[in-house]
């Protein structure tokens, strides 16, 4: 949204909160594609009519250039002409022509709000499934750490480039705009994550982050584990996820945020039952357990993290255990994830596919590995294949 449009909303905010009738607006806002069904649902959760109106004004400021004129049109269509005039008087607003507006289908209250509900494919119902309409559907940031400094005490991660190339191709085919960064120090990882979080995601439907590195155990409340930069400094997964919550990244509020982590969760090795394999080409992404020192900023970051929503973190291994990687073919987890996405992304939701990944990886190798996830998604997630 243009800055003068934001200023108009801010100037009118008190009166909008006091007078705005939000209930008649939802269908129009949805049909004009100012908000997604998930975003409208989040606004409705704000509480009273005044709370919803206040949140609506805040969220409007994260939308695109046509958000304010489209909102003014919605006010006029619902008979809230005084408020429409108030916003129009705030500056020269571009007029929406009929071609710019989406035709509105009048429905009764008992009918679903999702415009795709008329389709026979009920799994795309916005009440139970995240709707991905845009192309690209979101950004995919891949951080691929291969070479570590000598002072870090961490070995090079041979095979990680194979993982990276597979995931680049796979997520491009699933309609993501892929951004790849290689061999980043801890602070450089933080900078890249914050840069992605501060982008305007208002015209996109989701966000995805892939972390390929050495890992360790770390103090946590919600999401275990830590990721190493090439300088040997670690970043808690919990802190990484927090950059994308509703407070720090409002344009992703109500939208799915997915994290895939290929790294060790600790040093434990699970032998499981013996199978025939050649372990000579297999390495782990393990590193010594690190206990955060008192007074570090890690504890503060964890303590202030809000309750997560619309977040899924998929780990290559169970917390506390190593994650195995083949020097030639890449990690067990990424190789399996890529294969499962290729076979089932067009027909199955993400959680079901992650079960397939866990089942397949758990049967590999002399040492065992058990992938898992922390799921705080509110709905089912389906990728959209090209």
Same domain? For 91 and 153 the reply is no
Q: Given this model, what pLDDT does residue 340 score?
A: 96
Sign, Cα dihedral of 247, 251, 256, 262: negative
What's the burial of 382, exposed, middle or buried (CB within 10 Å: 0-12/13-18/19+)?
Answer: buried
Same domain? For 79 and 225 the reply is no
347 domain-assigned: yes
214 is catalytic: yes
CATH code for position 73? 1.10.533.10
314 domain-assigned: yes
117 domain-assigned: no
pTM of the model: 0.64
Within 8 A by CB and 6+ apart from 54, the residues are 13, 17, 46
Q: Given this model, what pLDDT does residue 33 score?
A: 82
Cβ(287)–Cβ(214) below 8 Å: yes
Same domain? For 308 and 366 the reply is yes
Cβ(152)–Cβ(235) below 8 Å: no
381 domain-assigned: no
Same domain? For 51 and 170 the reply is no
Print the domain residue range for 348. Answer: 138-376
Same domain? For 279 and 166 the reply is yes
What's the burial of 105, exposed, middle or buried (CB within 10 Å: 0-12/13-18/19+)?
Answer: exposed
Tell me which of 66, 98, 130 is where a domain ends: 98
Count structural domains, the chain.
2
Same domain? For 165 and 81 the reply is no
Q: Given this model, what pLDDT does residue 281 score?
A: 52
∠ CA 241-310-230, nearest 5°, is 20
Cβ(327)–Cβ(251) below 8 Å: no
Within 8 A by CB and 6+ apart from 343, the residues are none
Q: Given this model, what pLDDT does residue 285 score?
A: 57
Same domain? For 218 and 274 the reply is yes
Tell me which of 68, 98, 128 is where a domain ends: 98
Q: Given this model, what pLDDT does residue 126 score?
A: 63
Same domain? For 176 and 270 the reply is yes
252 domain-assigned: yes
Same domain? For 309 and 259 the reply is yes
Q: Given this model, what pLDDT does residue 119 score?
A: 41
Chunked mean pLDDT (size 10), the chain, 386 residues? 82 91 90 85 87 89 85 91 86 44 42 42 64 92 96 91 96 97 97 96 95 86 90 94 90 94 61 42 48 30 46 85 80 94 93 94 77 92 87
Same domain? For 276 and 359 the reply is yes
Q: Which of 214, 216, 249, 373 is catalytic?
A: 214
Same domain? For 265 and 152 the reply is yes
Same domain? For 230 and 292 the reply is yes
- Find tokens 């190593």 and name the residue: 322
182 domain-assigned: yes
- Give the C-alpha separation, 309 to 245, whole Å: 8
351 domain-assigned: yes
CATH code for position 279? 3.40.50.1460
87 domain-assigned: yes
3-state secondary structure the chain: CCHHHHHHHHHCHHHHHHHCCCHHHHHHHHHCCCCCHHHHHHHHCCCCHHHHHHHHHHHHCCCCCCHHHHHHHHHHHCCCHHHHHHHHCCCCCCCCCHHHCCCCCCCCCCCCCCCCCCCCCHHHCCCCECCCCCCCCEEEEEEECCCCCHHHCCCCCCCHHHHHHHHHHHHHHCCEEEEEEECCCHHHHHHHHHHHHCCCCCCCCEEEEEEECCEECCCCCCCCCEEECCCCCEEEHHHHHHCCCCCCCHHHCCCCEEEEEECCCCCECECCCCCCCCHHHEEECCCCCCCCCCCCHHHHHHHCCCCCCCEEEEECCCCCECCEEECCCEEHHHHHHHHHHHHHCCCCCHHHHHHHHHHHHHCCCCCECCCEEEEECCCECCCCCC
Percent of the chain whose pLDDT exceeds 90: 44
- Give the C-alpha separation, 23 to 26, whole Å: 6
């Amino acid at each position: 949204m243009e800055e003068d449009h934001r200023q108009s909303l801010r100037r009118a905010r008190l009166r909008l909160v006091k007078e705005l009738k939000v209930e008649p607006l939802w269908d129009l806002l949805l049909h004009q594609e100012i908000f997604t069904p998930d975003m409208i649902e989040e606004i409705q959760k704000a509480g009273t009519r005044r709370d919803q109106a206040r949140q609506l004004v805040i969220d409007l400021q994260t939308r695109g250039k046509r958000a304010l004129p489209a909102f003014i049109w919605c006010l006029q269509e619902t008979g809230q002409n005084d408020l429409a005039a108030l916003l129009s008087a705030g500056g020269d607003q571009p007029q929406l022509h009929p071609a710019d507006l989406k035709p509105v289908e009048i429905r009764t209250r008992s009918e679903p709000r999702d415009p795709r509900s008329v389709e026979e494919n009920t799994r795309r119902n916005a009440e139970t499934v995240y709707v991905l309409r845009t192309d690209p559907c979101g950004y995919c940031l891949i951080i691929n750490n291969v070479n570590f400094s000598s002072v870090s005490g961490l070995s090079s991660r041979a095979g990680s480039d194979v993982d990276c190339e597979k995931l680049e191709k796979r997520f491009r085919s699933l309609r993501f705009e892929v951004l790849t960064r290689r061999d980043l120090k801890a602070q450089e990882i933080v900078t890249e994550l914050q840069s992605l979080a501060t982008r305007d995601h208002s015209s996109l439907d989701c966000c995805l982050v892939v972390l390929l590195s050495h890992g360790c155990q770390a103090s946590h409340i919600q999401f275990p584990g830590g990721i190493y930069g090439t300088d040997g400094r670690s970043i808690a997964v919990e802190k990484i996820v927090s950059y994308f919550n509703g407070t720090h990244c409002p344009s992703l509020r109500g939208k799915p945020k997915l994290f895939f982590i290929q790294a060790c969760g600790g040093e434990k090795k699970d032998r499981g039952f013996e199978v025939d394999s050649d372990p000579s080409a297999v390495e782990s992404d393990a590193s010594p357990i690190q206990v955060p020192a008192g007074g570090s900023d890690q504890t503060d970051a964890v303590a202030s993290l809000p309750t997560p929503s619309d977040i899924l973190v998929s780990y290559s291994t169970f917390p506390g255990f190593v994650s195995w990687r083949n020097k030639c073919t890449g990690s067990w987890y990424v190789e399996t994830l890529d294969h499962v996405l290729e076979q089932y992304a067009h027909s199955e939701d993400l959680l079901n596919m992650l079960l397939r990944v866990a089942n397949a990886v758990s049967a590999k190798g002399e040492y065992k590995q058990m992938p898992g996830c922390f799921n705080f998604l509110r709905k089912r997630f389906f990728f959209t294949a090209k």
